[in-house]
Amino acid sequence: MKNIIDKAVLEKAQSWLEGNYDEKTKQKVKYLIEDDPQELIESFYRYLEFGTGGLRGIMGVGTNRMNKYTVGMATQGLANYLKKMFPDIGQIKVAIAYDSRNNSKYFARITAEVFSANGFKVYLFDDLRPTPELSFAIRYFKCQSGIVITASHNPKEYNGYKAYWDDGGQLIPPHDKNVIDEVKKIKNIDDVKFNGIEKNIEIVGEEVDKEYLRRIKELTLSPEIIKKHKDIKIVYTPLHGTGVKLVPMCLKDFGFDNIYSVEAQNVSDGNFPTVISPNPEEPAALEMAIKKAKEVDATLVMATDPDADRVGIAVKDNKNEIILLNGNQAASLLIYYLITKWKENGKINGNEYIVKTIVTSELLKDIANKNGVESFDVLTGFKWFADIIKQNEGEKIFIGGGEESYGYLIGDFVRDKDAVSACALIAETAAWAADHGKTLFDLLIDIYLEYDFYKEKLISVVRKGKSGAEEIQKIMEKFRNNPPVSINNSEVVSIKDYLIQKEKNLITGEEKQITLPKSNVLQFFLKDGSKISVRPSGTEPKIKFYFSVKEKLDDKNKFDEVNNQLDKKIESIIKSLGIE
């Protein structure tokens, strides 16, 4: 079997057999070499790298897997980098949180021990906590860095390691690449300080919870309206994750009384027994919550992913049926509500801004621009939101922002997407709509009437493993080297290539520089107003195609008609591009 395995892969695997690894790990590596060469290749063909969500991978032995040693090496590399970047600090401080996934607590403890062995002060949460609370804790304790152990919404066999900087935002260039460089300098695990110093580790909990919830409560814009509509029926599920405690507490803090839970999904379990995938983007993940909502006649359904940084919602439509809203629709509702209330309260003076990603609906930008609010576009990943907030700190005021993949942020005391505060503000938006005699769905149609009916769709093409990564690369090369001149019988008028940071107008031939960082993303803008974006995922083995189309909606009674037109338009575009 050995002769079919790449030499570099085999050398890496042999080093694990000869190195100072535990016996159980060695036995597993030996088994892979002798009996499972394909899995050996997948486990050792590369090192895990920081993508849009940090370090993330399948749990198991190997350099391309999440395990004690890859976590330890990543932590030691980060520790070495922090020592270089903060040489004059008496004691470097870090905060660590973890979610409900299998091995999350174990990996968090390993991380804490390595940091503490390097002489750092470590604030380790006493139990599972939402990712946004880790971002908050970094700022609260004035830490230089932080880690949350989570693979977000990935399948149960995954875990991950998100690294944060002193502003509470995830690592961005040059820090992310520099940390990887430091990790690569660690030639064997003997360079990792695994023997923790207990006195350097402080267990934290309720104190941070209370302050975090207090700051979220300050975001409320309609406390009197909530009092009038406090009995709105809300169904909430944490999908076996970290939102189980704080989301209901936060909703109650805001004044909502009628909160129903899905008891079977309140159980924190890394096997996610009641769902195929704990991803609020997947309709199946909300099935139990929607069933509960029908039983109690609820107005709003909300589901958070395992680390409670993203939220999916369902509402009653114009036929009184419960339907799912996508991330663009939820973000549009939130931004519309926030800006409208800020304006009503006299808080808009031209110094405010929102943030969205380049693949998120242009509707958010339209809403902002019409109301005198600046809008920033960023690459996919909330680390770029944090960067914009940091750049504008003290000069401009951040209202909120969102991305199509169900991540939202309101206020700047957290520097990552935050489903805890988003749940509270979505519920508040529902109360505000009710005070105007409307549902959230009615409000969405009002937005379409005012700003045009935007509709988006995402298709993810999964290609796993080394061969899959190569296939994804070829797909990108095809679109980049032979771009379509028309799509669905509509002329391509401009192309944005974020890898070479160029925007080209195909009508005039004019080229403009893109000021955002380099990223492997292509966007095609059509004459009919459609936008198609293509990008490989930074955290999963897939390539993503984002479709955005729009039409005028001049009568709410024509909603279904125009909705069908937009659906057909998207399907025609997909067919035109030959996407399977």
Mean local confidence (pLDDT), 86-90: 94
Res. 428: pLDDT tops 90: yes
User: How many percent of the chain have pLDDT more than 70?
Assistant: 98
Instruction: Give Cα separations from 268 to 239, 263, 306 (angstroms).
Output: 8, 11, 9
Other CB atoms closer than 10 Å to residue 94's CB: what's the count? 29
pLDDT band at 537 (very low <50, low <70, confident <90, very high): confident
Q: How does pLDDT run across 304-335, given as a tens digit for each residue?
A: 999 999 999 999 998 999 999 999 999 999 99
Q: How far apart are CA 428 and CA 65, in angstroms?
A: 42
> What's the distance, Cα to Cα, between the start and end of the chain in Å?
35
CB 280 within 8 A of CB 312: yes
> Which residue's structure tokens are 């095609």?
524
Q: How does pLDDT run across 455-492, given as a tens digit for each residue?
A: 999 999 898 888 888 889 999 999 999 999 999 999 99
Nearest to 98 by CA among 127, 121, 72, 76: 127
Region of residue 211 (left: phi > 0; alpha: psi -120 to 50; beta: else):
alpha
pLDDT band at 50 (very low <50, low <70, confident <90, very high): low
Mean local confidence (pLDDT), 94-104: 98
Q: What is the pLDDT of residue 43?
A: 94
pLDDT band at 1 (very low <50, low <70, confident <90, very high): very low
Q: How does pLDDT run across 429-463, given as a tens digit for each residue?
A: 999 999 999 999 999 999 999 999 999 999 998 98
In SS3 terms, 554-570 reads as CCHHHHHHHHHHHHHHH
The pTM of this model reads 0.94
Arithmetic mean of pLDDT over the chain = 94
Question: Cis link prior to 155 (omega < 30° from 0)?
Answer: no
Q: How does pLDDT run across 344-370, given as a tens digit for each residue?
A: 999 999 999 999 999 999 999 999 999
Please enumerate in sequence order all residues whose Cβ is within 8 A of that of 356, keeping only pairs 6 or more positions apart, or say none.
Answer: 331, 364, 365, 375, 376, 377, 378, 401, 402, 403
Q: How far apart are CA 342 and CA 465, in angstroms?
A: 48
Q: What is the pLDDT of residue 16?
A: 93
Q: What is the pLDDT of residue 154?
A: 85
CB 506 within 8 A of CB 429: no
Per DSSP, what are the bridge partners of residue 130?
none
CB 552 within 8 A of CB 452: yes
User: How many percent of the chain have pLDDT more than 90?
Assistant: 88
Element (H, E) at 214: helix 206-217
Which residue in the list 43, 104, 116, 152 is annotated as catalytic? 152
* Eight-class DSSP state of 170: B
Mean local confidence (pLDDT), 292-303: 97
Q: What is the pLDDT of residue 59?
A: 96
Q: How far apart are CA 222 and CA 365, in angstroms?
A: 24
Furthest CA-CA distance within the chain: 73
Res. 518: pLDDT tops 80: yes
Nearest to 411 by CA among 424, 400, 427: 400
Mean local confidence (pLDDT), 30-40: 94
Residue 1: strand, helix, or coil: coil
Q: What is the pLDDT of residue 48?
A: 76
Q: How far apart are CA 343 and CA 377, in angstroms?
A: 22
Quick one: tokens of 516? 């955002």
Q: Cα dihedral angle (144, 148, 151, 156), rounded to 10 degrees?
A: 160
Whether 494 sits among the annotated catalytic residues: the reply is: no
> Which residue's structure tokens are 């005021």?
397
pLDDT band at 539 (very low <50, low <70, confident <90, very high): low
Dihedral sign computed on CA atoms, order 483, 538, 152, 217: negative
Q: How does pLDDT run across 363-406, given as a tens digit for each residue?
A: 999 999 999 999 999 998 899 999 999 999 999 999 999 999 99
Q: What is the pLDDT of residue 51?
A: 56
Instruction: Give Cα separations from 400 to 408, 423, 476 (angstroms).
Output: 7, 14, 32
Quick one: tokens of 570? 């998207």
Residue 138: strand, helix, or coil: helix
Q: How far apart are CA 479 and CA 451, in angstroms?
A: 31
> What domains sit in the chain, N to C, each tagged with a CATH number?
46-208 (3.40.120.10), 232-451 (3.40.120.10), 454-577 (3.30.310)
pLDDT band at 137 (very low <50, low <70, confident <90, very high): very high
Q: How far apart are CA 373 and CA 356, in angstroms?
A: 13
* Eight-class DSSP state of 51: B
- Our measurement of the distance from residue 323's CA atom to the centroid of its chain's CA atoms, rounded to an integer in Å, reads 23
Q: How does pLDDT run across 189-219, given as a tens digit for each residue?
A: 999 999 999 999 999 999 999 999 999 999 9
